[in-house]
Chains A and B, each alone.
Chain A
């Protein structure tokens, strides 16, 4: 027993079958390995055993003859267990009888009926006579929360919901209250539940105590069809079952142990399933007749689109056409869009939403490390020794990646260090935090590198192996801490403490959020983080640097080469050999120099260099601020084709609008931020005559007499895999996980590295110093929304209408602003009136506004600074100085 914790192999015999297991294995796990079912309500493979429900009781005959809880009992060597002995079955029956004395028999009107564990076990192990009798509970069901209904009468008090909320989601939004027979589960203080609504409590509830208001009484499990598909909201790429009844989505259910989330979902994935059936979906192609868009047939619209594009090509050459792709599109669509632009239309001007920041990750990660996307998988994150999270509110932006970090915190007390300008949720859970001035991420990163250099924290192996590179960094660190403390507001002591703790960890993982890549010096900031990982010896398997994506298929954009400086495969345009391969595969000629980036394209439209544009899956009019003049640019075009799910602000300006199909209506694949290529599958019929994006691209190419014909998405992917090897295998982590980056790193250190060293560590100018306004406004990502798709969900809009300015409560009190008050936000560019929400999420001096929200025109207050070409030409518009005043 003294060596109980030592890992070794011990044997256990369950029902006569013997199996060797590592020490520390519990009876229920060994039984699962043998395929023996032990009933359980409260046990969950991803949570600590709590032995609350007592149904998993089994008879242990050796070494002692006793009943044990299978979920909580660790196996001793030579243990003999019986899971179907008369004694076990009798105990199991008694436990069920006791549960059923309280549990109401309202299965016919309970949404869990048909997939209820209590039902199943009662049929399998229970008796039809119950010797016990008691008064049943008669609590009213709590339906006050937006999504989740709590029926305390059905609750068997197993506590799984509370545990999932405290251990996996780490919110503890619900808990037990009272004691004994009158114990109930719910939000504290008798208040209605108001949480992140991830819905995991509902998923783990073995009975119908927690049910969804959005699916209330709408389904019976046996009536539903389930389709495993990939979530379309963020880059985590969770797998779930989209459940449909008669072609309508009834609900979304997680798949335990599958995909990046391992069975966890967030509110968007779980409850954002209404947009596909939204009445505003485009159902027919539209063509412009005068100043109106009128419905047209596909043939007419396709012919018109081809005519307009061909005319622009004839007038202004291939470079007179711009293509802009969004991250909503599937891999196959993006590949085909790229081929349509570069091959059929001979235009190098193919850009995408990568330009909002991730382009820097694509170029720098490839240049420095030869990696596309993340170096680590979510599993690496769960197993890391330390995580440094810079510029990302990960639990809002990539909630399931956030759960991987939280998992490390719960299970292994993994230290998480956060550098951010907001008081994020993960910051509260982490081991160390640097709360910095908004927009000063670059300076903070430099501070960390400086602390590593100054405090002698450089990994000995690295220092010995790459003296030149280390010396070059050291040279750049000559300045004082003052130049870091002033812009960031962080102190030297904080920086040093964090750098020391991170450098001392064996496997340290750096996560870089959109505020790193999307800043003015996005590329340099990421290069600095790579330097930090390099100096601390963290460029190795299990550790590394990981840029986080925003949109769901941002890595797909990179792999499809959806940026002028990228080729399919995510390779740089300057790579001659790669370009030649593409030319050979497509049987076309590609120009040597890349095309224009997004902001240049808009300028070109106004200047008349660009005559036509094809925009698919994105809405630049509403997602970019007014200062960029997107609307005017598009109006200046001779011809605009837009392809989307809804009639967006961009589509309103189009000459031809194609209705596309959503992820639930078609087949294809998405690439998540780890690099996993995962399938989406058709679960329902598309509204009206909408077509999948790839078919539309293919049809346009046909009209242009450049046949790009495919039988299905698999065929496109097979062709694409010739240029994009990542597309060859599905459901595997294609990220740099386990990849040895040494060769790429050495090439980088010897080549481009020192060249870009000169201005890498120059700090960018402080944002908008000319502005007299004091408060900093940041356009933050919301957990509940991401844009077009999420805001067309009536369910998500009910949970969070998300058009509120988030203010620090203390600061609001000073300005005498209460929750729900209207305030005027004024910047140099104008003002907007918005309601206020109070939350300590915003630090004093900072206000937050949801980035996706287009209604109240706060985005148009943002000044835009476009980064240099070396820094990815990213239009930086998420920070602005403003004044907030109460409107009376």
Chain B
């Protein structure tokens, strides 16, 4: 039997039969990176931090993402915004992407929808240290992929309609009533603004 099969190359023919059958079916592979898949809105790619539309940081540094993270890859250092008593923010925010399991628990834990996952899945780098995302990098990601981030939050039912209202600034920020410091009221804005952040960074 074995000899006959070898002579008539039945095995080869059986294999080629499959090949020829497939030749007439449509492609299922893509010419990556020239062609890419459409990523669904709920896709859990790289995590990013979002800003309000006026540019101020959403993150209040509550560390709930850190607490929710199953792989302990988030580190939040919270503080008072310099010069703005009682306004809380994350002074530092670190995300170790090498340990991230892309579960999205952090975004669900976030009370102010500051975290959203983007559709970025290409995280390869030449230096592993580049995979330690800091606050700056995460906000950059958020800025670059704002639409994806919003879509993610909506897809995961985290937007109750107040999050990204059509007009302006409606949002679920915490209110910090202005405090009386005796010598006249100091203006208190909510969240760190981009200008304040840039000033802070320029000091470093």
Q: Do chains A and B touch in the complex (CB under 8 A)?
A: yes
Report A205-250 residues with CB < 8 Å from chain B CB. Answer: 216-218, 220, 222-223
Q: How far is the CA of A107 from the CA of B176 in the complex (A)?
A: 13
- Taking CB atoms, residues of chain B closer than 8 Å to A86 are none
Q: In the complex the two chains form, what is the Cα distance from A109 to B80 in whole Å? A: 10
Indicate if the CB atoms of A140 and B178 lie closer than 8 Å.
yes
Residue A138 CB within 8 A of the other chain: yes
> A49 within 8 Å of B by Cβ?
no
Any B CB within 8 A of the CB of A581: no
With a cutoff of 8 Å between Cβ atoms, the chain A residues found around residue B182 in the complex are 144, 192
User: Interface size for chain B: under 10, 10 to 19, 20 to 34, or 35 or more residues?
Assistant: 20 to 34
Convert A124-142 into 0s and 1s, putting 1 for each residue whose CB lies closer than 8 angstroms to a CB of B.
0000000000000011111
Chain A residues positioned under 8 Å from B66 (CB to CB): 220, 223
Interface positions, chain B 77-105, Cβ under 8 Å from A, are 78-80, 85-86, 88
Is B174's CB under 8 angstroms from A140's CB?
Answer: no
Quick one: which of A138, A143, A222 has the most chain B CB within 10 A? A143
Q: Are A143 and B181 in contact (CB under 8 A)?
A: yes
Contact A144 B60 (CB under 8 A): no
Whether B112 pairs with A141 at a CB distance below 8 angstroms is: no
Taking CB atoms and an 8 Å cut-off, the chain A residues in 88-145 that contact chain B are 106-109, 113, 138-144
B56 at the interface (CB under 8 A from A): no
Q: From A111, which residue of chain B is reached at the shortest CB distance? A: B88
Which residues of chain A are within 8 angstroms of B61 by Cβ–Cβ distance?
217
A217 x B88 contact (CB < 8 A): yes
> Judging by beta carbons under 8 Å apart, are A141 and B176 in contact?
yes
- Min CB distance, B22 to chain A, in Å? 54
Contact A106 B174 (CB under 8 A): yes
Contact A109 B88 (CB under 8 A): yes
Chain A residues whose CB sits within 8 angstroms of the CB of B178 once the complex forms: 140
Q: Are B63 and A223 in contact (CB under 8 A)?
A: yes
Nearest CB on A from B132, distance (A): 16
Give every chain A residue within 8 A of B176 (Cβ-Cβ).
Answer: 141
B123-159 at interface with A (beta carbon < 8 Å): none
Q: Which chain A residues lie closer than 8 Å to B180 at the CB level? A: 140, 142, 144
Structural contact, A113 and B62, CB atoms closer than 8 A: yes
Q: How far is the CB of A188 from chain B (nearest CB, A)?
A: 17
B177: A residues at CB distance < 8 A:
138-141
> In the assembly, what is the distance between CA of A331 and CA of B128, in Å?
49
B64 at the interface (CB under 8 A from A): yes
Chain A residues within 8 Å of B181, by CB: 143-144
CA distance A106 to B111 in the complex (A): 9
Q: Which of A106, A113, A140, A217 has the most CB of B within 10 A?
A: A217
Given contacts A108-B174, A140-B179, A143-B181, A218 and B86 within 8 Å (CB-CB): no
Task: Report the bound CA distance from A106 to B178 in whole Å.
Answer: 16
Instruction: Kindly list chain A residues whose C-beta atoms are within 8 Å of the C-beta of B179.
Output: 140-143
Q: Are B85 and A218 in contact (CB under 8 A)?
A: no
| Closest Cβ–Cβ distance, residue A747 to chain B (whole Å) | 63
Kindly supply a per-residue 1/0 record for chain B positions 180-193, scoring 1 wherever the CB is within 8 Å of any chain A CB and 0 otherwise.
11100000000000
Query: Within the assembled complex, what's the spacing in Å between the Cα atoms of A106 and B176?
Result: 10
Interface size counted on chain A using CB atoms at 8 A: 20
Mark interface residues in B57-83 (1 if CB within 8 Å of A CB, else 0).
000111110110000000000111000
A220 to B64, CA, bound (A): 9
Query: A658: shortest Cβ distance to chain B, in Å?
Result: 34
Q: In this assembly, does B202 line the interface, its C-beta being within 8 Å of a C-beta of chain A? A: no
**Does B175 sit at the interface, judged by CB under 8 A?**
yes
Q: Which of B95-123 contact A (CB under 8 A)?
A: 111-112
Which residues in chain A, 136-185, are within 8 Å of chain B measured between CB atoms?
138-144, 149
**Complex: how many Å from CA A144 to CA B180?**
8
Selected contact of A218 from candidates B60, B78, B174, CB within 8 Å: B78
Q: Which residue of B lies closest to A140 (CB)?
A: B177
A218 to B62, CA, bound (A): 10
Residues of B within 8 A of A142 (CB): 179-180
Name B62's contact: one of A108, A140, A141, A144 (CB within 8 Å): A108
A557 → B minimal CB distance (Å): 41
Assess the B60–A222 pair: CB atoms within 8 A.
Answer: no
- Complex contacts, B64 vs chain A, CB 8 Å: 108
The residues in B between 35 and 69 inclusive whose CB is less than 8 angstroms from any CB of A are 60-64, 66-67
- Report the minimal beta-carbon distance from A250 to chain B, rounded to whole angstroms: 11
Whole-angstrom CA separation of A218 from B60 in the bound complex: 12
Contact across chains for A108 and B79 when beta carbons are under 8 A apart: no
Q: Which residues of B contact A141 (CB under 8 A)?
A: 86, 176-177, 179
CA distance A217 to B77 in the complex (A): 9
CA distance in complex: A222, B176 (Å) = 24
Answer whether A143 and B85 are a contact pair too, CB < 8 Å, given A218-B78, A218-B79. yes
Complex Cα distance A239/B9, Å?
Answer: 87
From residue A138, how far is it (CB to closest CB) to chain B in Å?
5
Closest to B182 in A: A144
Q: Contacts of A108 on B, CB cut-off 8 Å?
A: 60, 62, 64, 111-112, 174
User: In the assembly, what is the distance between CA of A109 and CA of B85, in Å?
Assistant: 13
B110 to chain A: closest residue by CB: A108
CA–CA, A192 and B175, complex, Å: 22
Residue from A106, A108, A140, A143 with most neighbouring chain B CB atoms (10 Å): A108
Name the B residues within 8 Å of A218 (CB-CB): 78-79
* Chain B nearest CB, measured from A279 CB (Å): 18
Residue with the highest number of chain A CB atoms closer than 10 Å, among B66, B179, B181 = B179
Q: Tell me how far the C-beta of B50 lies from the nearest C-beta in chain A, rounded to whole angstroms.
A: 16
Residues of B close to A107: CB separation below 8 A:
62, 111
- Which among B67, B79, B111 is the interface contact of A222 at CB below 8 angstroms? B67
Across the interface, which residues of A come within 8 angstroms of B79, CB to CB? 217-218
Task: Across the interface, name the chain B residue whose C-beta is closest to A138.
Answer: B177
B67 touches A217 (CB 8 A): no
Q: Which residues on the B side are within 8 Å of A216 (C-beta)?
A: 80, 86
Chain A hits for B88, CB < 8 A: 109, 217
CA A143 to CA B80, docked complex, whole Å: 13
Which residues on A sit within 8 Å (CB–CB) of B85? 143
Q: Mark B8-36, 1 if CB is under 8 A from A, else 0.
A: 00000000000000000000000000000
Q: Which residues of A contact B63 (CB under 8 A)?
A: 220, 223
Task: List B contacts of A113 (CB < 8 A).
Answer: 62
Which residue of A is nearest B89, CB measured? A217
Contacts of A149 in B (CB 8 A): 86
B192 smallest CB distance to A (angstroms): 13
A217 contacts B174, CB within 8 Å?
no
Q: Can you report 28 A-B residue pairs in the complex whose CB atoms are below 8 A from each other?
A: A106-B174, A107-B62, A108-B60, A108-B64, A108-B111, A108-B112, A108-B174, A109-B60, A109-B62, A113-B62, A140-B177, A140-B178, A140-B180, A141-B176, A141-B177, A141-B179, A142-B179, A143-B179, A143-B181, A144-B181, A144-B182, A216-B86, A217-B78, A217-B79, A220-B62, A220-B63, A220-B66, A223-B66
Given contacts A107-B111, A140-B180, A223-B63, 20 further A-B contacts (CB under 8 A): A106-B175, A107-B62, A108-B112, A108-B174, A109-B60, A113-B62, A138-B177, A140-B178, A141-B86, A141-B176, A142-B180, A143-B85, A144-B181, A144-B182, A149-B86, A217-B88, A218-B78, A218-B79, A220-B67, A223-B66
What 3 A-B pairs are tightest by C-beta distance, nearest first? A108-B62, A140-B177, A109-B88
